[in-house]
Amino acid sequence: MGSSAAYHLARRGMRVLGLERFAPAHDKGSSHGGSRIIRQSYFEDPAYVPLLLRSYELWEELKQNSGVDVYSITGGLFIGPPDSTTFSGSLRASEQWGLDHEVLTDREVHQSFPAFEPPAGQFALYERMAGFARPEFTVRAHIGLAEQAGADLHFGEPALSWTDDVNGVSVHTEAGTYQASQLVVCPGAWAPKILSDIGIRIKIERQVMYWIDHSPGSPSMEGGPIYIQENNNVEQIYGFPPIDGPAGGAKVAFFRKGTECTPDTIDREVHPDERRDMLDRVSQLLPGLSGPVLDTATCMYSTTPDENFVIARHPLHTNVSVACGFSGHGFKFVPVVGEILADLVEHGTTDHPIALFDPARLASA
């Protein structure tokens, strides 16, 4: 979110200083692991769809301007019991916004995509425009374009604290103090520390990604769709085709099955019982994806109580804009969030519909 904001601000001709604690496109936050699902039939809430439509335009613009393959369209299957959020919520968003979609029975899913064997009685919404973004490529593309447009980006330089008054803001780092008229804070899992006064509790959760090999002779998933599948106890898994070639495995993960942590206490080791759980669960949908587990990685979600984002002017500090609490589903919005933050800095407001992301929504609840 920070690299996207730096890009959008710099290309509007503003003077931008960016401060990042670690190296470009590092793996210690929430934006690594090779792939992120992008989709438009948004089961979380159809209110996100206009932002997704704009994000897709900006994904394409980023691809063109950077020459980097930041996203790919593969189609997507959102599978579950007929009344599940994953299926019925995706259908609702598609119908409400007139998105290109198809409804498939479990058998039709298997006929069209032989690697998939959904449990009997489940349905899938097939969305043609779904696919995946490449998080590290995206961050690097935004950084490169931001620097080309004149942004001064400092890596390995954490912001230790900031203060503001009517004239602007001061940010303190070990290297010194910087003054600016406006500050944008996109701290990911560090929000509970650096944005402790925004009035929303953000829970940091450890999440695991698994790259799994398929058994010899099983139907190939290459070039196939991304997917999210819900079972009867509402647990969701999601995954990708093997996008780095068959030797890299196909990435799979539980959606929201995490343990609370902080960036300092997160357990980076993935344990044998966790691998077994993932293999058991994914084989109920993709029997060929039987292992072994080729690789794993941990990542953090920053989850708000209602799982909607926080994107707003800071409620207590006039010259500060914030973007955090992306609740495990923010990456597909990275390009449009940068645009929104640039609007908030330039105009104090935006034409994008962001009422859902106002931190006051929960303060008054």
Ligand X SMILES: Cc1cc2nc3c(=O)[nH]c(=O)nc-3n(C[C@H](O)[C@H](O)[C@H](O)COP(=O)(O)OP(=O)(O)OC[C@H]3O[C@@H](n4cnc5c(N)ncnc54)[C@H](O)[C@@H]3O)c2cc1C
Contacting residues toward ligand X, per CB under 6 A: 1-2, 19-22, 29-31, 33, 36-37, 158-159, 186-190, 194, 207, 209, 253, 299-301, 324, 326, 328-332
Nearer to ligand X, 219 or 262 (CB): 262
Minimum CB distance to ligand X smaller for 104 or for 189: 189
Minimum CB–partner distance for residue 322 and ligand X (Å): 10
CA 25 → CA 37, 138, 234, distances in Å?
Answer: 18, 9, 33
Q: Is 109 or 171 the residue whose CB approaches ligand X more closely?
A: 171
Nearest to ligand X of 158, 305 (CB atom): 158
Nearest-approach distance from CB 154 to ligand X, in angstroms: 9
25 versus 286: smaller Cβ distance to ligand X: 25
Amino acid occupying residue 119: P
Question: Least distance in Å: CB of 235 to ligand X?
Answer: 16
CA distance 58 to 53: 9
Determine contact, residues 301/259, Cβ cutoff 8 Å.
no
Nearer to ligand X, 14 or 191 (CB): 191
**Smallest separation, CB 152 to ligand X (Å):** 14
End-to-end C-alpha distance for the chain, whole angstroms: 27
Minimum distance, C-beta of residue 217 to ligand X, in the bound complex (Å)? 29
Tell me, letter by letter, the H, E, C secondary structure of the chain: CHHHHHHHHHHCCCCCEEEECCCCCCCCCCCCCCCEEECCCCCCCHHHHHHHHHHHHHHHHHHHHHCCCCEEECCEEEEECCCCHHHHHHHHHHHHHCCCEEEEEHHHHHHHCCCCCCCCCCEEEEECCCEEECHHHHHHHHHHHHHHCCCEEEECCCCCEEEEECCEEEEEECCEEEEECCEEECCHHHHHHHCCCCCCCCEEEEEEEEEECCCCCCCCCCCCCEEEEECCCCCEEEECCCCCCHHHCEEEEEECCCEECCCCCCCCCCCHHHHHHHHHHHHCCCCCCCCCEEEEEEEEEEECCCCCCEEEECCCCCCEEEEECCCCCCHHHHHHHHHHHHHHHHHCCCCCCCHHHCCHHHHCC
Residue closer to ligand X, measured from CB, 2 or 359: 2
| Minimum separation from the CB atom of position 216 to ligand X (A) | 28
- The least CB distance from residue 247 to ligand X, in Å, is 22
Q: Output the smallest distance, CB 325 to ligand X, in A.
A: 8
Minimum gap (Å) between residue 160 Cβ and ligand X: 7
Q: Which is nearer to ligand X, 126 or 333 (CB)?
A: 333
Query: Which residue, 190 or 211, has its beta carbon nearer to ligand X?
Result: 190
